[in-house]
Amino acid sequence: MDFRRIQWIFIVAFVAINTFLFVTWQKSDSTVTESSQRNANNATTILREMKNDGITFTTPSSEEAEGYYASAKSGLSRLRAGVDNLTYQDLRFNATEMTSYLHQTLTVSPKKPQTQLNRFVKSNANVTAGDEYVYSAELSKVSANEVVYVQKVPSGTIMAPSGQLRFRIGAKNQVISYTQSYVIQAEPLREKTTTISQQKALIWLYQYNELPNSTKVLWSKLAYSRLLRVSDNNVYVPTWFIALKSKNTDNVVIKRVNAFTGAVMKSTDSTTQVTNSSSSSGSSSSTSSITVDNEDDTATTGN
């Protein structure tokens, strides 16, 4: 057979294969685009339905993020070991956390309490491992008499009760005490995985009938929450924390949505009475109830 003829056969075959692959890719790309457009249209429709149901919210982001399945152990032993370094405090321990009652007065700004508390937290004489916590503006908004810090871990923070530092604020903006929980040996269990977007978390919460009519979405935050307990280890998963407030009451509810699966994370609820007191000793106080979807180990108004 003529060599040139063979060469042309290969060229024609090569072009035919490439044409086939290009057409296949175009169809695939078109399918993905159409699917994305369909999803976007569906999301727009559902968000419109939510607004028609009296649910108010700022436009949620449709961008995805990344996170780990992570493991960690209770660090209560670390807190006990740090007792000797703490000064001017009375300490109490239970099965999961430590509470400290301060001897000295610490007054904080009602608008920016973290300004004074950041300095307090960083001192080893005041808080054990304080440099591993960061101020949570979201959780601190839940209660007028509590300021919350959350523990930092690889790729994020633990917004759950098992890794929190909560300051109780009394009259005249004085810190009365703080309660601390802590985890150790926090490390990823596997490679990073893509999480669902803020938009999807909110939509799925609505579709699971966990977002009542006439509700205001105060904020939503991606952080870590405990998924399960295996022997001495806790397994944590990226979680969308979504704060809801009914327009008819003062109740604030924080829902949790698994940021990998989209499932609403159920657990024992806790209710805490919160007193909002003015700085004037003669002023009256109002009491509101905060209900929180919680981990099953600790009750707190911050989660």
Q: Which amino acid is at 103?
A: H
- Tokens linked to 25: 């890719």
Quick one: pLDDT band at residue 247, thresholds 50, 70, 90?
confident
pLDDT digits (tens, 9 = 90+) for 131-165: 999 999 999 988 889 999 999 998 799 999 999 99
Give the β-pairing of 252-258 and 286-293.
parallel
What is d(CA 46, CA 216) in angstroms, rounded to the nearest whole number? Answer: 16
Question: Poorest-confidence range of 11-20, 101-110, 217-226, 233-242?
Answer: 11-20
Neighbours of 197 (CB within 10 A): 19
pLDDT at 40: 62
pLDDT digits (tens, 9 = 90+) for 161-177: 999 999 999 988 999 99
Neighbours of 225 (CB within 10 A): 26
Is pLDDT of 290 > 70?
no
Cα separation values, 85 from 105, 123, 124, 126, 282, Å: 19, 10, 7, 8, 39
pLDDT digits (tens, 9 = 90+) for 8-51: 555 555 555 555 555 555 555 444 444 445 556 788 899 999 99
What is d(CA 302, CA 72) in angstroms, rounded to the nearest whole number? Answer: 20
